[in-house]
Structure 1
């Protein structure tokens, strides 16, 4: 079957660092972190989180963000558009709020709890042809983008709307606290003094199509791997991340020396950053610009893959390398960590998403030929 090209023709985001993708990219390049300290989530403890300050529900914000992307598209209707959602917690926060208010389950709607809650909400707002939801922890929306890539490349669909979404769930926050990986300050990915991550909420929406438009960026390759080293820790040598990156490059028929920027998963945890740095060094050495943008956005969990895909797309469009914020002393002395935003001519950008259970996904983006 002939392989179609896959283009990103529209996108928008909302997170703690900006109400739009333009605000987000500006915040990243000027080191304006959206992370703040909160004391109400865990008793007698302050933690730093990425919370969207919103006057109305995040579900309403989700609908508005999708509407903006769809209305700016070249589509007259969305009846031939597949919806692919990536989320780590689905409607868990809604369930939590009802249970904590009522102290029983009778008013909980199961349709607003499951992972496909987001698809259920959006299907009521837009006449999309069909939907599918992915929940693979922190690779959820990266895998949603990978699935969208395959659907368009194989000619199954011409239009796919990808949504990455996660909200601050008490269950999630306390789960990461139990693992001992939450920081009380904005995280410092790859720094020797890093002490943990910042859980965050976010919305990222991308429209993928088989025909390019003005300023389109191509999704050129996808790579998956599962190292299964440990349920919550990656293989120290970075074998899983290395394999995913190699597969993404092979899928796109691109050499490692041609990649100009890597948006690293870079959570700020000891285990993740060391492992990922080893993987990047093994494949790229010091030849590629590297940054993690989670010190600005926090870790938006299931939404992170889609949010950081948007960051890569904008970096390519603007020919600007996003910097690492709060990186003072890199643990890895080989990698080319960018500390200040810089103009740079490059054609390819790679985005890594690494999740529990050794679930790894790499996405390669490029300027269309």
Structure 2
């Protein structure tokens, strides 16, 4: 391994499939949807179902810290604990000044905003918590991880809508490649299953209205897709120089070989009709990873289950990767966790490489006839994956593609 290779040495997730990478991977591999029926939090909303994290064990966060943390940060800290444990870095004697934290978040502490605003309207300004600002500002996601684990290198939060988690991983790679850090805790988090947020997405026309069957509502690349299912989640990857990992006798789970980013500069919410930015980002990731298109065995698609986005992404994949690699979207199982989803899907891509297993796209019963993709449906595909890409696209025209390969 060269000194410039970036190793993935730890993984952690909290998703609607459960806390822990194993629980999430098992459910994704089985293709079992986690979208649930009417959620009390969404009563009266035009869409009243979502995919949520239930019965979260926050013991690793500590009771004293919980009262000052937004739910999005609570999810993140649980995922970070698992990732650092997996990387054998929990409690390790590291050079703290060379440990960075980069987190993606699209919305910030929206549940805390709504709760405190309700108090303000109902009880007056004196009822607003003095901790409201640190509970709601997006930067605190990275700040709280750094505080919890004593990481004193660069720490910051990036926000590129639904590409935020992937942008964080790309930025983390930059900190490592520049030599500024030896280790970076990178990932994404989002807990925006609130009435206000869901109403906004529903009125925008982005959410599925399949209220009679929520489990089948998220249907990436299916001809009957009608929008995504809101979800919450957090995911963390521990990234470090491969030489640094080898020096402490840690074998990489995968290598983060390259990243590519581009902007559509086309429309606030709609992708470029020809996928200009997405294609540019995918080609950039392949160049950075020194991969030819034919080297890619698997694409973890953004696959939102919206009519326009799936169509454009399919066009991009077939244009950049005409040899037809296996394609899947995990949003049929996990829903769309906005700023966290790029990090969640990066974890799933690493596992596909590590376990030679490509999970199915849940609920894709009838792939759109205009989408010429080699989709994995029904059951997982057992296939050696030498290299894979994970796509993330967001409002504002943000496009980020991560390229992973075997160690």
> TM-score w.r.t. structure 1 length?
0.94
1:236, 1:274 within 8 Å by CA — same for their partners in 2? no
Q: Determine the structure 2 residue equivalent to 1:352.
A: 391
Cα deviation, 1:216-257, whole Å, max 9, x if unaligned, reads 200001001101111010012112111110000011110111
1:4, 1:154 within 8 Å by CA — same for their partners in 2? no
Partner Cα distance (2:226, 2:341) in 1 = 20
Which structure's residues are more often strand, by fraction?
A: 1
Q: Determine the structure 1 residue equivalent to 2:222.
A: 191
Quick check: 129-138 or 212-221, which moved more?
Answer: 212-221
For residue 234 of structure 1, the aligned residue among 250, 265, 271 is 271
RMSD (CA atoms): 1.9
Structure 2 residue ranges without an equivalent (≥5) = 59-65
Q: Determine the structure 2 residue equivalent to 1:133.
A: 157
For residue 117 of structure 2, the aligned residue among 99, 104, 107 is 99
CA drift of 1:124 comes to: 3.2
Task: Please say if 1:166 is aligned against 2:169.
Answer: no
2:160, 2:398 within 8 Å by CA — same for their partners in 1? yes
2:11, 2:86 within 8 Å by CA — same for their partners in 1? no
Q: Determine the structure 2 residue equivalent to 1:32.
A: 32
2:260, 2:400 within 8 Å by CA — same for their partners in 1? yes
Q: Determine the structure 2 residue equivalent to 1:84.
A: 102
Q: Determine the structure 2 residue equivalent to 1:13.
A: 13
> TM-score w.r.t. structure 2 length?
0.86
Task: Please say if 1:4 is aligned against 2:11.
Answer: no
Partner Cα distance (1:338, 1:191) in 2 = 12
Cα deviation, 1:53-102, whole Å, max 9, x if unaligned, reads 12566444432332232234344245131011110112121121222245
Task: Please say if 1:263 is aligned against 2:300.
Answer: yes
2:218, 2:228 within 8 Å by CA — same for their partners in 1? yes
Counterparts in 2 of 1:334 and 1:111: CA distance versus 1, 3 Å: same
2:38, 2:49 within 8 Å by CA — same for their partners in 1? yes
Give the alignment of 1:1-369 within 5 angstroms: 4-38=4-38, 40=40, 41=42, 43=44, 45-55=46-56, 58=71, 59-75=73-89, 76-77=92-93, 79=96, 80-103=98-121, 104=124, 106=126, 107-108=128-129, 109-130=132-153, 131-170=155-194, 171-183=196-208, 184=210, 185=214, 186-211=217-242, 212=245, 213-331=250-368, 332-339=370-377, 340-368=379-407
CA drift of 1:345 comes to: 1.4
CA drift of 1:281 comes to: 1.1
Structure 1 residue ranges without an equivalent (≥5) = none
Moved over 4 A (4+): none
Partner Cα distance (2:252, 2:143) in 1 = 31
Aligned residue-pair number: 367
